[in-house]
Amino acid sequence: MAGRGLEQQVQERPSGLPGGGTQGYDLSLNRYKELVHDEVEHRTPLEILAELRAIEQEILQGIEELEGMLR
């Protein structure tokens, strides 16, 4: 490698070895920008459970109606 420029020496190194160029690396500044996320408001677990209980009651009523039709 003697007698060649540093840039050419770096380009000749296999990419799997340390110093093997930038293959496989994203060096763009956009990749490292700070992301700003919108705040999301979630329902409380108790609200979700109350809704699930109401849905379950509707399902149970439907099952009872079906059982009544089969008798």
Is 39:50 a contact under the CB 8 Å cutoff? no
SS3 31: helix
**Res 33: pLDDT:** 81
Taking 50 as the pLDDT cut, the residues of the chain under it are: none
**Res 61: pLDDT:** 98
Q: Measured at the alpha carbon of residue 69, what is the angle toward residues 68 and 70, in degrees to the nearest 5? A: 90
Domain ranges of the chain: 6-27+41-70
DSSP H/E element including 69? helix 45-70
Question: In angstroms, rounded to a whole number, what is the distance separating the alpha carbons of residues 16 and 24?
Answer: 9
**Res 65: pLDDT:** 97
Chain centre to alpha carbon of residue 26 = 19
pTM above 0.75, yes or no: no
